[in-house]
Every structure is written in C-alpha cells, then in structure tokens.
C-alpha cells in the first residue's frame, strides 16, 4: 500500500552530512532521514585519514585557506574556502561533544594531528586509520536515540516533488517519492523543507573506491527538478585500488608507496621513473595518469604494486590491514605484487548551493559530497570533504530552523502513479546497460580525456538514455533501475562539462588542450527541460 508521511524536514541521506544536519535541527523540527540501504551506508563509514581543521597553535586559518586554494588550481571560491576553514575548529568541537573518540598524543590529552599531501601544517584530526567509522557510528548512536528523528532505512528516494501556487510559476520543493525496498511500494514523503545529502557519484566509473550508494542520485534528482549543477568534470581518482573480481572498493593506502613500494608493469618493469622524477612519490593525479596511460597502452587489466623487497616483519608491522585483506584473496604481499588500478574516489562538482546549502529551488537544500559549494575548485585537498559535510550541515540547519515557521505546509501530493507500468521480465537490460555505462565512462571520460573519446561517450550516452527512458516508462521501478537512470544523467552531465572545458586544470586533463587557460571559470550547467510530471499546482 502507498503511504504518506509528513515531517518538517526530510533529509535524504544518512552520511556525515545528513546525520549532522538531523542532530543540529532536531531541537526545532520533526525530522525524517532516508537511507537507501542500512543507516551506515555511504562513503563516510569508509573514510580513513581524517578531518582537516585549524587546531594547532602553529597553524593558521590563512595557511589552511592558502593550501586549499593551491590544491584547487585557481578554481576554488575563496569566500567558500574561508567560510569552511573559519568554522573548522567549532565543527570538530561539536563532533567531540557528540562523543567522537579522536586519537590523542601518547601520554597526553592533546589530540594527535597528522599531515597529508597539500597541507603545510599538521592539521588532520583522526581516529586511528578509521576516522569515518568513528564519526559515523557516533552520529548514528545519537540519531537512533533522538525522539524527533525518524530513520527510514532501505528507502530509495527517486524523484523530488515540487509544487507551485495557482497562477504562479515559482516552484518550491515539498517532498520526495521513495521506494521502500522491503514492501516494494513507492511512498510519499512530504515536508516543508527537503535536504539532499546523498553523497557523490563515483559509481559512474567502472572502478571506484566508493560504496554502492555513490550513484549521484541527489545530483540527478536536483537536475530533474530544475537546479543548476557545476564542475562535474572534476572527478578525483585514487591511484591504487585493489584489482580483484571479488574485492569491492579496497584502497591500497598511499603509505605503501611512501614506505618504498614500486609500481610495476605485468612484466615486472618499473615505470614511474619515466613519468616523473619523484617516481612512485609523485602526487596522486600524476601517478593515476601514468597508470592509466600504461594500462591503455598495453591493453592490460591492471598494474602491480610491489613491496615484497621489504622484510616480512616490516610489512606486517606497518600494513596489517592491507596484508590481512589481500590474504583473503590469496595475495601474500610479503611475497607477491598486488594487482591495482586507479579508482574514482571523489566528486568535486555537484548541485550549486550557497553558504547555507540552499539550491536554486525554494525549500530544497544540498549538503556534503552531492553539493557544489566552491570549496574544492579543480581538485579536492585531502580531508577537506568531511569538514565540508559538517560545516555546511550546521549552516543549513541554522538557516532552515530560522525559516521553518514561515514555510507553508505542503499540499497533499498524489500517490506515485503505477497504473501504466508492469513488472519487468527483462532485468538483463538493466545489468547490461549498467556495465556498459560504467565501462565507457572509464575508457572515454576517465583520467585522461580527448575530444574524440568524449564524442564517442556522447554518442553512447544518448543511446543509453533513450533505452533507459523507454524502460522507465514501461516497467515498475526497482532500486537498480533508479540508480541506473541517475547514473546515466550524471554521466551525461560529466561528459557535457568535460566537453565544455577547453583546457587542462586540476583533475581534468585533456590531450587536446594540455595547457591551463589564464582565466579560471566554473562549468555551470543550467537545466532547461525539467520534471513537469512531478509538479503539483496548489489551489
């Protein structure tokens, strides 16, 4: 049976961004949180390194701002960077207040801070090498016991609902339709304010470090509802992810290369020295590009990361988790080279928002990896992303709470219309299109781009979208179909953005335009043909 749920605020996504917002709002609002799987799904749980914040007396806001601007290759919005960094200390204090157990210095109450690539100071607060899990489990514990927060697990939001007053063309967001995977029905979630906290879109690529949830649902839903999307061409790739048919998304930490591991071709030859004088210690994007080049040149599946020349004792002491995980797949890293490929890791672009997380559509906000705040520019600096989740969730919470009393209650929305669809007997179409999309995105719109490859991708995405649209209008929705439709939209947005950028900057590298332009511009896409079928005109 289709049901209607009413809340003050509907948050779609239960990662660091969504849960921080829920907790920050719960005093003033009745909140619903949707998660498309269990509450702990999302990239947050897997974050390893930590959260960047100005916490050390030797460090300064100016230094953190300057480092972020350098990493972003001239495309960061300085006001957004400053806004985020200035709030970093209070964001961490808030997490500590929630109960997050960050690692301390030995025999001291001071928190231990590490330094990562691009940061000029020690400013990464962490919880051993599993910061995301520590943050996420603490927030989950808090929301689960909060009387004003209702969590709906295994509910996949599929479309936003928009309404306009009679005689007005001005739309506002009033809820979302969501498929409950348990009863297979699409329910109506109505709210005065809706927040997208759905994470990134790295699953659009064949290889990714992200969990399955990262299918860009929020970006696709916002686009369909009429919101602008920016800088989708900037996809960060991690150079080394374990390549094994059964190993999903396992990162080979960069510390392996830091401790002397070599990158080798299938015949055992080292190749990094011919790409950069720093060899394996070159920055992430250079190593990822070199691996991509060699894989495409040789037509091989992967390259190898080899630390077997170090003693077994050293390897066991420094890399216990990597060693144990590889052993599960029959790879003994004290003797064997590890098969690796680069993997899509972070989506720098997203839904255009202001410093309060407000999108172009009234009463719709976006926070966390799904949003485009201007913080990351053309390349995200390590550990700035969790910070962005907390800071913007808190500013959005303040803004939403201050307006809520004046937002009109939504009109009753109609049930999801399933009268013209049937059960699919051709699910192979979904799995086939899914594989095809992720593979051509990898081959043609990956780490190194050319005009010709992007044209090929444009051609393929048009065909796929036509087929998916036909399928969507004839068959009942399923979780896989919803994700496939969204991945196709996100793929189109990435391809279009990459076509528009006629230069190489940060994470976007084009063989046809290898130089960086003198003027830095965002790629902003404006939707022209949005979801008329979900618009309800209230009397």
Ligand X SMILES: Cc1cc2nc3c(=O)[nH]c(=O)nc-3n(C[C@H](O)[C@H](O)[C@H](O)COP(=O)(O)OP(=O)(O)OC[C@H]3O[C@@H](n4cnc5c(N)ncnc54)[C@H](O)[C@@H]3O)c2cc1C
- Minimum CB separation of residue 353 from ligand X in Å reads 12
Q: Which of 76, 386, 488, 491 binds ligand X (CB under 6 A)?
A: 386
Give yes or no for residue 48 binding ligand X (CB under 6 A): yes
- Minimum CB separation of residue 4 from ligand X in Å reads 18
Q: Which of 251, 340, 396, 461 binds ligand X (CB under 6 A)?
A: 251
Give yes or no for residue 12 binding ligand X (CB under 6 A): yes
Give the x-and-dash track for 146-185 against ligand X (CB under 6 A): ---------xxx----------------------------
Strands 155-165 and 535-538: parallel
Select from 14-22, 77-85, 315-323, 528-536 the region that touches ligand X (CB under 6 A): 14-22
How far is the C-alpha of 242 from the C-alpha of 322, rounded, in Å?
10
Burial of residue 384 (CB within 10 Å: 0-12, 13-18, 19+) is buried
Q: Which of 209, 363, 394, 523 binds ligand X (CB under 6 A)?
A: 209
How far is the C-alpha of 253 from the C-alpha of 76, rounded, in Å?
27
- Minimum CB separation of residue 132 from ligand X in Å reads 5
Q: Give every CB contact of residue 20 below 8 A, 6+ residues apart in sequence.
A: 94, 139, 389, 390, 393, 394, 397
Instruction: Dump the DSSP string for 105-171.
Output: -TTSSSBPEE--TT-SS--EE-STT-HHHHHHHHHHHHHHT-TTEEEETTEEEEEEEEEEETT---E
Tell me the two tokens of residue 354: 């202001």
Look up tokens 């043909």; give the residue: 529
Give yes or no for residue 42 binding ligand X (CB under 6 A): yes
Q: Which of 50, 350, 446, 506 binds ligand X (CB under 6 A)?
A: 50
- Tell me the CA distances in angstroms from 514 to 44, 187, 449, one per residue in order: 34, 49, 10
Q: Which of residues 102-141 bind ligand X (CB under 6 A)?
A: 131-132
- Minimum CB separation of residue 453 from ligand X in Å reads 26
Select from 34-42, 409-417, 426-434, 494-502 the region that touches ligand X (CB under 6 A): 34-42
Element (H, E) at 290: helix 284-298
Select from 353-361, 381-389, 400-408, 441-449 the region that touches ligand X (CB under 6 A): 381-389
Q: Give every CB contact of residue 69 below 8 A, 6+ residues apart in sequence.
A: 76, 78, 81, 377
The DSSP symbol for 450 reads: -
- Minimum CB separation of residue 268 from ligand X in Å reads 29
Give yes or no for residue 14 binding ligand X (CB under 6 A): yes
Interior CA angle at 22 toward 17 and 26, to 5°? Answer: 155
Give yes or no for residue 231 binding ligand X (CB under 6 A): no
Give yes or no for residue 49 binding ligand X (CB under 6 A): yes
Q: How far is CA 170 from the centre of its chain?
A: 30
Give yes or no for residue 198 binding ligand X (CB under 6 A): yes
- Minimum CB separation of residue 241 from ligand X in Å reads 9
- Minimum CB separation of residue 198 from ligand X in Å reads 4
- Tell me the CA distances in angstroms from 167 to 78, 171, 226, 451, one per residue in order: 40, 11, 19, 45
Give yes or no for residue 295 binding ligand X (CB under 6 A): no
Total chain residues near ligand X (CB under 6 A):
41
Q: Which of 7, 8, 9, 15 binds ligand X (CB under 6 A)?
A: 15
Select from 3-11, 378-386, 424-432, 501-509 the region that touches ligand X (CB under 6 A): 378-386
Give yes or no for residue 534 binding ligand X (CB under 6 A): no
Look up tokens 């719709």; give the residue: 364
Q: Give every CB contact of residue 425 below 8 A, 6+ residues apart in sequence.
A: none
Give yes or no for residue 340 binding ligand X (CB under 6 A): no
Active site residue 284: yes
- Tell me the CA distances in angstroms from 424 to 173, 427, 468, one per residue in order: 31, 6, 13
- Minimum CB separation of residue 76 from ligand X in Å reads 16
| Among 82, 172, 284, 453, the one annotated catalytic | 284
Q: Which of 24, 41, 236, 394 binds ligand X (CB under 6 A)?
A: 41
The DSSP symbol for 196 reads: E
Give the residues lining the site for ligand X (CB under 6 A).
Answer: 12-18, 34-37, 41-44, 46-51, 131-132, 155-157, 197-199, 209-210, 213, 217, 251, 346, 368-369, 383, 385-386, 389
Q: Which residues are catalytic?
A: 284
């Amino acid at each position: 049976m289709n049901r209607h749920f009413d809340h003050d605020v509907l948050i779609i996504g239960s990662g660091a961004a969504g849960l921080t917002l829920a907790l920050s709002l719960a005093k003033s609002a009745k909140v619903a949180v949707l998660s498309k799987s269990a509450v702990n799904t999302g990239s947050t749980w897997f974050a390893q390194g930590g959260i960047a914040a100005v916490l050390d007396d030797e460090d300064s806001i100016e230094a953190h701002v300057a480092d972020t601007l350098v990493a972003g290759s001239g495309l960061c919005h300085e006001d957004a960077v400053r806004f985020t960094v200035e709030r970093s200390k209070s964001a961490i204090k808030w997490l500590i207040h929630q109960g997050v157990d960050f690692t301390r210095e030995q025999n001291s109450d001071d928190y231990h801070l590490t330094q990562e690539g691009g940061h000029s100071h020690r400013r990464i607060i962490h919880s051993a090498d599993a910061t995301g899990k520590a943050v996420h489990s603490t927030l989950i514990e808090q929301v689960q016991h909060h009387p004003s927060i209702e969590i709906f697990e295994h509910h996949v939001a599929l479309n936003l609902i928009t309404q306009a007053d009679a005689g007005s063309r001005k739309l506002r967001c009033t809820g979302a339709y969501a498929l409950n995977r348990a009863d297979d029905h699409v329910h109506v979630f109505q709210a005065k304010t809706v927040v997208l906290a759905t994470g990134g879109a790295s699953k659009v690529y064949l290889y990714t470090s992200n969990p399955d949830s990262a299918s860009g649902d929020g970006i696709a839903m916002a686009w369909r509802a009429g919101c602008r999307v920016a800088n989708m061409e900037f996809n960060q790739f991690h150079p080394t992810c374990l390549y094994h048919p059964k190993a999903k998304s396992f990162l080979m930490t960069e510390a392996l290369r830091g401790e002397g591991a070599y990158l080798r071709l299938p015949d055992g030859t080292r190749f990094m020295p011919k790409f950069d004088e720093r060899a394996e210690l070159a920055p992430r994007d250079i190593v990822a590009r070199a691996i991509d080049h060699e894989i495409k040149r040789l037509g091989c599946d992967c390259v190898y990361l080899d630390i077997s020349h170090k003693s077994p004792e050293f390897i066991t002491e420094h890399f216990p988790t990597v060693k144990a995980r590889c052993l599960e797949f029959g790879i003994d890293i004290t003797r064997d080279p590890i098969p690796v490929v680069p993997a899509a890791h972070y989506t720098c672009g997203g839904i255009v928002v202001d410093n309060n997380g407000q999108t172009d559509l009234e009463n719709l906000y976006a926070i966390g990896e799904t949003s485009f705040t201007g913080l990351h520019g053309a390349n995200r600096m390590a550990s700035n992303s969790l910070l962005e989740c907390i800071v913007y969730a808190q500013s959005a919470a303040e803004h939403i709470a201050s307006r809520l009393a004046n937002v009109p209650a939504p009109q009753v929305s109609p049930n999801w219309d399933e009268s013209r669809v049937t059960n699919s007997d051709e699910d192979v179409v979904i799995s086939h299109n899914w594989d095809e999309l992720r593979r051509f995105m990898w081959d043609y719109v990956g780490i190194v781009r050319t005009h010709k490859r992007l044209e090929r991708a444009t051609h393929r995405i048009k065909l796929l979208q036509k087929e998916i649209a036909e399928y969507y209008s004839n068959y009942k929705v399923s979780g896989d179909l919803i994700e496939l439709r969204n991945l196709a939209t996100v793929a189109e947005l990435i391809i279009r953005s990459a076509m528009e950028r006629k230069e190489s900057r940060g994470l976007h590298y084009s063989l046809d335009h290898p130089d960086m332009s003198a003027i830095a511009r965002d790629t902003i896409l404006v939707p022209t043909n949005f979801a008329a079928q979900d618009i309800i005109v209230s009397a």
